[in-house]
């Protein structure tokens, strides 16, 4: 694989560690002359396919997880407020992302940051399609066209196909970041990713 | 809580991330004038109490986990070889540790390092009481006295009680490290632990 291949970044908009990684991954990649391909997926679909549950729903882990989300954000210097509704369905923002990405990659990137921050900083309910449309318009999208696009069967299929492909590629959680074929799970692997980019593998 | 309270370090001898933490935690604590209280527990007992399973046994996670154990060790500059038998029962080394600790804290510490390295570097089967006795003798223990000590009902009860107490304290995995009441799960939280020690909380 060429050393200038893009980094793959699988994420779910309701995943706190995905939010943390989303704030760091592009700048990290850029330091090493790399681009990042963002790939929203539905973690619910991944867990269903594997027969697993999220860490936060494992018995005994909820309190620690919520503490660690906020603490990890502070550690990384990022704002964070635990959403009242958590986790939520991210079908609406993920479909919107794929439609926007088909129109304009840079717009999709701005939208993704807007959605993550709306949920994890401002506490908006990103499961709500009306909220999603408003966030998209805020970053420059055509709301009417996006609303139609989100209900396009091709967009619905795309999100399902991306989630299935992620499972087939070995993804079992998020964020899931792949550098030259090497998979890294979790925002806490950012230092290892940096080392990998520096050294070409260790 | 006083700023000179010891750091609590819960671990299981068959846990790869516990091994990684075991090689770093004392030096890290010492930098900040702290001691570390080591506490072997049986993760199997923790999982049974909570109705959970280890990460490596979650569907789809085994291959990634084994890759991450070795990669995390390289990242930290530590030797690592995935044991052929994994995971194994750690009743024997954990009981031995509590008996040795009752005799001589420093001896128990040397023994713990010896057990971790025997398993994760040299591939010895630390579930075997004969192996455990040999490792203990290598670091200066009286093998005959230890063999008797390991079958003392008080030592068996102690290990069970420490595992139960860990569950009651919120432990659901290992390593589990507590600094002034703040819990951290995983060797990948060492940088956060260092920040906590530096700043007194963030």
Q: Give me the residue label for tokens 């089967």.
A: B125
* C-alpha span between A5 and A29 (Å, rounded): 11
Give pLDDT, residue B5: 92
Structural domain contains residue A1: no
Q: Average pLDDT, stretch B166-190? A: 98
pLDDT at residue B43 greater than cutoff 80? yes
- pLDDT tier, B57 (very low <50, low <70, confident <90, very high otherwise): confident
> CB–CB of B172 and A59 under 8 A?
yes
Q: What is the dihedral of CA A71, B72, B109, B142, to 10 degrees?
A: 150
Give chain B's domain count: 1
pLDDT at residue A2 greater than cutoff 70? no
Instruction: Give the model confidence (pLDDT) of A159-192 as tens digits.
Output: 999 999 999 999 999 999 999 999 999 999 999 9
- pLDDT tier, A54 (very low <50, low <70, confident <90, very high otherwise): confident
Give pLDDT, residue B2: 52
Instruction: Give the model confidence (pLDDT) of B127-138 as tens digits.
Output: 999 999 999 999
pLDDT at residue B3 greater than cutoff 70? no
How far does A198 lie from chain B, in Å, by closest CA?
A: 12
Residue A3: CB atoms within 10 A of its CB come to 10
Tokens of B166: 């860990």
* Contact of B171 with B8, CB cutoff 8 Å: no
Classify residue B1 by burial, with Cβ atoms within 10 Å: 0-12, 13-18, 19+.
exposed
Structural domain contains residue B166: yes
How far does B74 lie from chain A, in Å, by closest CA?
A: 7
Residue of chain B whose Cα is closest to the Cα of A195: B75
The CATH number given to whatever domain includes residue A115 is: 3.40.30.10
The range of the structural domain enclosing residue A110 comes to 7-199
* Contact of B83 with B123, CB cutoff 8 Å: yes
- Out of A150-164, B11-25, B47-61, B168-182, pick the least confident: B47-61
* C-alpha span between A47 and A67 (Å, rounded): 23
Interface of A with B (CB under 8 A): 50-52, 58-61, 63-64, 67-68, 71-72, 74-75, 167, 170, 172, 183, 185-186, 188-189, 191-192, 195, 202
Give pLDDT, residue B146: 98
Set of chain B residues whose Cβ sits within 8 Å of the Cβ of A72: 192
Structural domain contains residue B123: yes
Q: Is ipTM strictly over 0.90?
A: yes
| Partner-chain residue, chosen from B52, B71, B188, that has the shortest CB–CB distance to A58 | B52
Among residues B113, B98, B82, B112, which one has the least CA distance to residue B152? B98
> CB–CB of A74 and B202 under 8 A?
yes
Give pLDDT, residue A122: 98
Residue B177's SS3 state is strand
Instruction: Give the model confidence (pLDDT) of A128-151 as tens digits.
Output: 999 999 999 999 999 999 999 999
Set of chain A residues whose Cβ sits within 8 Å of the Cβ of B59: 50-52, 172
Among residues A5, A10, A61, which one has the least CA distance to residue A33? A5
Q: Give me the residue label for tokens 């006083």.
A: B2
Q: What is chain A's alpha carbon radius of gyration, rounded to the nearest angstrom?
A: 16
Instruction: Give the model confidence (pLDDT) of A30-53 as tens digits.
Output: 999 999 999 999 999 999 999 998
DSSP structure class, residue A141? -
Q: Average pLDDT, stretch B103-112? A: 97
pLDDT at residue A1 greater than cutoff 90? no
Structural domain contains residue A165: yes
Residue of chain B whose Cα is closest to the Cα of A77: B202
Q: Average pLDDT, stretch B44-67? A: 92
> CB–CB of B75 and A188 under 8 A?
no
pLDDT at residue B116 greater than cutoff 60? yes
> CB–CB of B183 and A67 under 8 A?
yes
Interface of B with A (CB under 8 A): 50-52, 58-61, 63-64, 67-68, 71-72, 74-75, 167, 170, 172, 183, 185-186, 188-189, 191-192, 195, 202
Give pLDDT, residue A3: 58
Set of chain B residues whose Cβ sits within 8 Å of the Cβ of A50: 58-60
Residue A14's SS3 state is coil
* C-alpha span between B129 and B135 (Å, rounded): 10
Beta strand A7-11 with A36-40 is: parallel
pLDDT at residue A20 greater than cutoff 80? yes
User: H or E stretch including B42?
Assistant: none
* Contact of A195 with A202, CB cutoff 8 Å: yes
Cis peptide before A25 (omega within 30 of 0): no
Structural domain contains residue B1: no
Residue of chain B whose Cα is closest to the Cα of A183: B64
DSSP structure class, residue A23? T
Set of chain B residues whose Cβ sits within 8 Å of the Cβ of A191: 75, 191
> CB–CB of A64 and B202 under 8 A?
no
Structural domain contains residue A2: no
* Contact of A37 with A5, CB cutoff 8 Å: no
Give pLDDT, residue A186: 98
> CB–CB of B64 and A172 under 8 A?
yes
Structural domain contains residue A186: yes
| Partner-chain residue, chosen from A68, A172, A202, that has the shortest CB–CB distance to B75 | A202
Structural domain contains residue B33: yes
């Amino acid at each position: 694989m060429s050393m200038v291949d893009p980094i793959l970044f699988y994420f779910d908009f309701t995943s706190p560690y995905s939010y943390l990684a989303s704030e760091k991954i592009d700048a990290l990649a850029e330091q090493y002359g790399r681009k990042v391909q963002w790939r929203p997926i539905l973690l619910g679909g991944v867990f269903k396919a594997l027969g697993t549950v999220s860490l936060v729903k494992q018995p005994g882990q909820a309190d620690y997880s919520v503490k660690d989300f906020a603490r990890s954000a502070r550690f990384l210097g990022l704002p964070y407020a635990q959403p009242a509704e958590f986790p939520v369905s991210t079908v609406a923002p993920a479909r919107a992302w794929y439609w926007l990405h088909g129109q304009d990659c840079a717009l999709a990137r701005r939208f993704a940051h807007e959605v993550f921050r709306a949920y994890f900083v401002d506490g908006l309910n990103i499961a709500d399609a009306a909220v999603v449309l408003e966030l998209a318009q805020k970053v420059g999208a055509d709301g009417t066209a996006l609303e139609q696009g989100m209900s396009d069967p091709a967009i619905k299929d795309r999100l399902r196909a991306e989630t299935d492909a992620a499972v087939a590629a070995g993804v079992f959680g998020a964020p899931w970041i792949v550098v030259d074929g090497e998979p890294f799970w979790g925002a806490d692997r950012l230092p290892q990713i940096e080392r990998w980019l520096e050294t070409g593998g260790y």
